[in-house]
Amino acid sequence: METDIVIVGAGPAGLCLARSLSASGLRMILIDQQGADELEDPKFDGREIALTQKSVGILKTLGIWNLIGAEAKSSLTHARILNGSSRFALDIGHELSDYAELGWLVPNHLIRKAAYDSVQQQLNGGRIAIMAGERVTGVETDDTGALVHLESGKAISASLVIAADSRFSSTRRMMGISADMHDFGKSMLVCCMTHDVPHHHAAWEWFGYGQTLALLPMNPDPESGAFRSSVVVTLPGREIDRLVNLDVPAFNREIERRFDQRLGRMTLATTRHAYPLVSVYPKRFVGKRFATVGDAAVGMHPVTAHGFNFGLLGIDTLSRAIVAARSKGLDIADDALLQRYENHHRRMTRPLYMITAFITSVYTSESLPAKLARNIMLRAGEHVRPFKRIVAASLAGN
Ligand SMILES: Cc1cc2nc3c(=O)[nH]c(=O)nc-3n(C[C@H](O)[C@H](O)[C@H](O)COP(=O)(O)OP(=O)(O)OC[C@H]3O[C@@H](n4cnc5c(N)ncnc54)[C@H](O)[C@@H]3O)c2cc1C
């Protein structure tokens, strides 16, 4: 088999990349180990993705945003940061940005579904193909081309291989690219709950003592009209396992208590999902005829909600470079082109990756000096308008 680009992974990043290259006339094969049914109709996975205005703009250009129903898109107008048992909150409002909302919250499985449907609409008479239920087991590249081996025994030759196969990318490893990985030793539980007290479309990031909580405002429950949020609890792995398996009434009471009853009565509305917290930053984003995008390029800690937002930024940068090279009849896998992508994406992502590492170390430390320091930082931050503007700009993706 032969093509121009092999994309390994048909998750949100791989699919958005295929869509953004679909008008270039390039032939592409997307490969994913998941079955066709799972790709076509992904199941709820607990994740509500906070999208920046910048990301929404990219998804609109790709024709993906409009494939997501309005009821599934919830506006994010405020972000509140809380510390310990204090009632004080650093409040970042949309009025600090140029928008009526800082960003939008959309369920991850619906982003996947919309991205999949948009690629299906652009198969360009077979120039784009999705191979489901196939796992990439080997990659070889040299000056003249690339060869991708599949578990089924098939092989595909291509000009360029792009890995979009998650933060634990086996393709990146096959290419000999090492990565800095940080295992936080904690897991995140995510689920949707209804609650008595309105959220006013504010997201909470609550650095409690012995736990980190987040609340992501969703649109009201379509049937009952009850207030609804995505609830995120970060704890050591064994504690999360216990919470996932707790019977529902006991789970509801425990989450109400963990939220200090601030949301009144809370009721589980969906399945519960757990994710181990590991952040990943590879030494290189590119190699010979090889590039990484999405989490395979930058695997963020979710606390600053930038993983997929960075994924879209990288896709935008890389696809523009490939389309420009293609229109000039140049090599789409040229070393210099890939290096420019790497340099740009590193500049766009490295600072926030480092800031996120700092936030997670100071804001989850249980030492008394750290608890005091973050209290002081939050209270000082509330009075420094330029600081709040920077945070608002980051949330909006500017
Ligand atoms: C709890 C949580 C909350 C989050 N919240 C936010 C948020 O608010 N905002 C935000 O921007 N981001 C957020 N993120 C991050 C976001 O979910 C990820 O950045 C995004 O889903 C990554 O997409 P991806 O396509 O790169 O990888 P994935 O979704 O991991 O997809 C990778 C695909 O590759 C396939 N694959 C893997 N290996 C192979 C192989 N060898 N052969 C073939 N196929 C393979 C897999 O089957 C999969 O389909 C959050 C993440 C978590 C865990």
Task: Verify whether ligand 1 is closer than 6 Å to residue 107 (CB atom).
Answer: no
Task: Verify whether ligand 1 is closer than 6 Å to residue 10 (CB atom).
Answer: yes
Ligand 1 atom with minimal separation from the 190 CA = 1
Q: Is 376 helix (H, G, I), strand (E, B) or coil?
A: helix
**β 290-292/286-287 pair status:** antiparallel
Q: Which one of 17, 295, 298, 345 would you pick to mutate in the ligand 1 pocket, going by the greatest count of ligand atoms within 8 A of its CB?
A: 295
In this structure, the residue with its CA closest to atom 29 of ligand 1 is: 11
**What is the DSSP secondary-structure string of 118-162?**
HHHTT-GGGTEEEEES--EEEEEE-SS-EEEEETTS-EEEESEEE
CA 308 to centroid of ligand 1, rounded, Å: 8
Q: Which residue has the tokens 């509140």?
A: 80
Give burial (CB, 10 Å; 0-12/13-18/19+) of 117: middle
Q: Is the pTM of this model over 0.85?
A: yes
Task: Verify whether ligand 1 is closer than 6 Å to residue 33 (CB atom).
Answer: yes
**Could you read off the pLDDT tens digit of each residue along the chain, which spans 398 residues?**
999 999 999 999 999 999 999 999 999 999 999 999 999 999 999 999 999 999 999 999 999 999 999 999 999 999 998 888 888 888 888 888 888 899 999 999 999 999 999 999 988 777 999 999 999 999 999 999 999 999 999 999 999 999 999 999 999 999 999 999 999 999 999 999 999 999 999 999 998 888 999 999 999 999 999 999 999 999 999 999 999 999 999 999 999 999 999 999 999 999 999 999 999 999 999 999 999 999 999 999 988 889 999 999 999 999 999 999 999 999 999 999 999 999 999 999 999 999 888 877 766 767 777 777 777 777 777 777 777 777 777 777 77
Task: Verify whether ligand 1 is closer than 6 Å to residue 308 (CB atom).
Answer: yes
Task: Verify whether ligand 1 is closer than 6 Å to residue 170 (CB atom).
Answer: yes
CA 12 to centroid of ligand 1, rounded, Å: 7
